[in-house]
Structure 1
Amino acid sequence: MLTLVPRQCLRGAAPTSYAIAAFASRRLLSTPSSDPARSSAAAATGETVALDYEAYQPTSAQTSSPRTAVPVSSLVVCHGLFGSKQNWRSLGRAMSARFGIPVFALDLRNHGTSPHIDGLAYSDMAADVIQFMSSQKLSNVALIGHSMGGKVGMSVALHPQLPDGMVGKLISVDMSAKRGPLSPEFERYIDAMVAIRDRPCKSRSEADEILQETEKDVGVRQFLLTNLTRPAGTDNWGWRIPVDLIRKNIAQIGDFPYNPPKATEDELAGARDDAEERTWDGETLFIKGTKSKYVNRRNIPTNQKYFGNSKLVTMETGHWCQAEKPGEFVEVVERFLTGQTVDETQEALQPRSKA
């Protein structure tokens, strides 16, 4: 459930024998299971935080004569786990210029430069986003969320305290409204990030050497290392995100706060006793990466129960649709906002060919 930035080459020396030995000798860390059916997710606290954000404003000419006029007043974007508002700068500017409307890219709680708070319950994160939109006096918003941010966006739409008319359209990028564990590598990433925090590191390359023992893909490592910072007046690099709080509350990332109507036993697995049944009838788009399993034949029917007025489209990508094919992603968003989406739900429900 992370947001990947495009791959770039990282110039750094190969791990030294010292670094490898140090990694091997450290006490093995154990991040709790992210599966809410195995590791009970803590309840929401009801506390909200003021989210930091970047706003991309169109020029007056783009506002008066946009390339594509869309029936929403603004876009609000929620990133994925370990992501931040900066991951959406290029796309945010591109969509603002194209549609002639402001785009707001948020830092969700415990990410980027937003406040740190104990808890990652989706209903709390949704309340943060609703508070942000209220503070900006936004209405008729198109809300876009990728991965964890997709669950945040869906939780906003389903939130019982969402003001009427605040959200006009919803886009969930490669994420479903289903409880379940994160991919195993995410728990390993957290362990590695804790190890880097405990070293500490004198350079980014030292942190990368440690991370290489967990993740060989340079693009993923570079994405994770965007969270590394060196506070003024210090020699050591550390994380700007509260790794321990994320680790402690990882089951909340695999959770979902509501139940769909006519829920099956599988859909209720891991649900809290106080989970309400909720639906939203606004226009919703699910974008699925064809090489990703986060949206699949088993959970598409669950998505439809929550969001009866939904469509699905596929992109020939992995989990990071918007980073792998940004131009095509903007076109998918445009078609949805202008009512031109061709629904691919039935095709996505078909068994994969074994050929």
Structure 2
Amino acid sequence: MLLWRSTTALARAPTRLFSTSALRCSSVALASDHYTPSSPRNDAGPLVILHGLFGSKQNWRSLARGLAAKTGREVHALDLRNHGTSPHAKDASYSALAGDVATFLEEKKLENITLLGHSMGGKVAMALALRPHEAIERLIVVDISPAVGKISPEFTQYLDAMKAIDAANVSSRKEADELLAKTEPDFGVRSFLLTNLEKSPSSSYYKFRLPLHYFSDAIEEIGGFPYQLGETKFEGPTLVFKGESRSKYINRRNIPSLEGFFPNMQLKTLETGHWVHAEKPKEFADDVVEFCK
């Protein structure tokens, strides 16, 4: 999940990505889940999945298992820094996020990778592919563009609501959901956000495992992108999913930036909102399997 109002990718000067060696010095060790197909394809590289903002690898568990079986590829689902069970770090730039993933790929000695990212994870995937990273063969981007834009009001509202829940010392998920409902009426969105709620090991209260103060300080970085058009391209096959009916993250203003950065891209539209893979899992999986062929 990633919440901002998109403009064009030319809105401001880029933040440069560092070399792999420099990034390794400040990278964090990412938590991951590994799925092995029962009938592996020896000629197929792995599929690596990056979740969106406030998400985690557990959100992809069912799809990752199915994609491993259908593609014959090993699948690695990662928790990005400050998410899931990965370590927390104050630097939330795409340089840092991409560096963590690059270090993971290098340490696992993965090659011929199909890199898939949703929302914020899609921006991380694009940034890493554009660096370039020679191990990445194909790219799948889910409902996000390489645009720079202001964070939408919902982002701050969710953060404020989660901080209020932490401060309230709730003793049940039901109590947390009732508080969150004052900000977000959609049960599905609330359920997604509350996957990050867990009982504190030092008390009987429920707390968010997300470092909310880090996110508050990283609003501009989360809405940014580290490259401008014309600087670099990823020439590999690229599949971009767009949620058609209830999502504006990919639109006529930012599609040219996708085409500029990824000249060998194809755009696939599904009748969904922003969570394309969750709303149409079968159609999404079928399209990924076809692309991976």
> Compared with structure 1, are the counterparts of its residues 78 and 218 closer, same or farther at alpha carbon in structure 2 (3 Å cutoff)?
same
Which runs of 5 or more structure 2 residues have no equivalent in the other structure? none
Shift, 1:181, TM fit: 2.5
Q: Report the equivalent of 1:281.
A: 235
Q: Report the equivalent of 2:159.
A: 190
Shift, 1:231, TM fit: 2.5
Shift, 1:193, TM fit: 0.8
Amino acid paired to 1:180:
G
Q: Report the equivalent of 1:322.
A: 277
Q: Report the equivalent of 2:210.
A: 241
> Compared with structure 1, are the counterparts of its residues 37 and 203 closer, same or farther at alpha carbon in structure 2 (3 Å cutoff)?
farther
What is the aligned counterpart of 2:30 among 33, 36, 51? 51
Shift, 1:38, TM fit: 11
Q: Report the equivalent of 2:200.
A: 231
- Answering whether residue 82 of structure 2 is matched by residue 110 of structure 1, we say yes
Q: Distance in 1 between matches of 2:15 and 2:259?
A: 26
What is the aligned counterpart of 1:82 among 45, 54, 62? 54
Shift, 1:184, TM fit: 2.4
Amino acid paired to 2:195:
T
- Percentage identity across paired residues of the two chains: 48
Q: Secondary structure at the match of 2:40?
A: helix
Q: Secondary structure at the match of 1:181?
A: strand
Residues 247-262 of structure 1: matches in 2 within 5 Å? 247-261=216-230
Q: Which moved more, 1:130-139 or 1:45-54?
A: 45-54
> Compared with structure 1, are the counterparts of its residues 137 and 85 closer, same or farther at alpha carbon in structure 2 (3 Å cutoff)?
same
Contact (CA 8 Å) 2:10, 2:229: kept in 1 or not? no
Normalised by the length of structure 2, the TM-score is 0.90
Contact (CA 8 Å) 2:14, 2:225: kept in 1 or not? no
Shift, 1:113, TM fit: 0.3
Q: Secondary structure at the match of 1:259?
A: coil
Contact (CA 8 Å) 1:145, 1:151: kept in 2 or not? yes
Larger-gyration structure (1/2): 1
What is the aligned counterpart of 1:222 among 168, 175, 191? 191
Shift, 1:140, TM fit: 0.4
Shift, 1:41, TM fit: 10
Which runs of 5 or more structure 1 residues have no equivalent in the other structure? 4-32, 262-276, 339-355
Shift, 1:335, TM fit: 2.0
Normalised by the length of structure 1, the TM-score is 0.75
Q: Report the equivalent of 2:249.
A: 294
| 1:262-295 Cα shifts (integer Å, max 9, x gaps) | xxxxxxxxxxxxxxx2211111111101021101
Shift, 1:144, TM fit: 0.4
> Compared with structure 1, are the counterparts of its residues 260 and 2 closer, same or farther at alpha carbon in structure 2 (3 Å cutoff)?
closer
Contact (CA 8 Å) 2:17, 2:131: kept in 1 or not? no
Contact (CA 8 Å) 2:144, 2:249: kept in 1 or not? yes
Amino acid paired to 1:259:
Q
Q: Would you identify which runs of 4 or more consecutive aligned residues in structure 1 move more than 2 Å?
A: 33-47, 181-184
Q: Distance in 2 between matches of 1:130 and 1:188?
A: 32
Residues 140-151 of structure 1: matches in 2 within 5 Å? 140-151=112-123
Residues 1-355 of structure 1: matches in 2 within 5 Å? 1-2=1-2, 46=23, 47-59=26-38, 62-63=39-40, 72-160=44-132, 162=133, 164=134, 166-261=135-230, 277-291=231-245, 292-338=247-293
| 1:297-331 Cα shifts (integer Å, max 9, x gaps) | 11000111111111111011111110001010011
* Count of paired positions: 284
> Compared with structure 1, are the counterparts of its residues 295 and 58 closer, same or farther at alpha carbon in structure 2 (3 Å cutoff)?
same
CA RMSD of aligned residues (A): 2.5
Q: Distance in 2 between matches of 1:171 and 1:43?
A: 23
Q: Report the equivalent of 1:347.
A: none
